[in-house]
Amino acid sequence: MKAGKKLTGHYALLFGIAVIVVILDQWSKSWIRQNVGLGAEIYPISFLAPFFRFTYWKNTGAALGIFQNANIPLLILSSIIVIVIIGYYRKALDEPLVFRISMGLLLGGAVGNIIDRIQLGYVTDFIAMGSFPVYNVADSCVTIGVFLMLIGLLVQERKEKAANIEMEANQEVDDEN
């Protein structure tokens, strides 16, 4: 019984983070669609203008504007990614917390954009910085999730190397005795 409760608690982390991401993502996209005309710009932080702005854009492709008009293949790919994340998460329970948090961010980001693709036939993008392509909250969470996942993997690798070094040192001491 305890193992089931522990597993449920771990999945609560994954789905809790994902739900928060989806709520923030969908709320922000809805606000943009209601308050900013397609292609129009607003400057929410005046001292960062014109570098940082909100620009309502319909994206039928992937990140950085690639694969335009590929909504259905990207919807299928995103759905597969969601299934893989949920399926793999149980195996990731021994990974560092930062790695599991990253999976929640990735899941929420993927679901946020899936919702747009299903409901609208495109993804609502609106965050613009300099000449970088326009993106959204879901995209940001995916990027942060990948970054955190890499950090988690590096932390885990360093721990394993340190444990191996310690084990080898202990083995050498045992061999000398």
pLDDT, tens only, 77-119: 999 999 999 999 988 888 888 989 999 999 999 999 999 999 9
Select which of 25, 116, 125, 175 is catalytic: 125
Which own/partner contact pairs does 146-155 have at CB distance under 8 Å and 24+ positions apart? 146/102, 146/106, 147/102, 148/98, 148/99, 148/101, 148/102, 148/105, 149/99, 149/102, 149/103, 149/106, 151/98, 152/95, 152/96, 152/98, 152/99, 152/100, 152/102, 153/99, 155/96, 155/98
141: domain range? 2-176
Catalytic (active site) residue 116: no
Position 8 scores a pLDDT of 73
- The tally of domains found in the chain comes to 1
Identify which has the larger pLDDT, 39 or 175.
Answer: 39
Select which of 25, 116, 139, 175 is catalytic: 139
pTM comes to 0.84
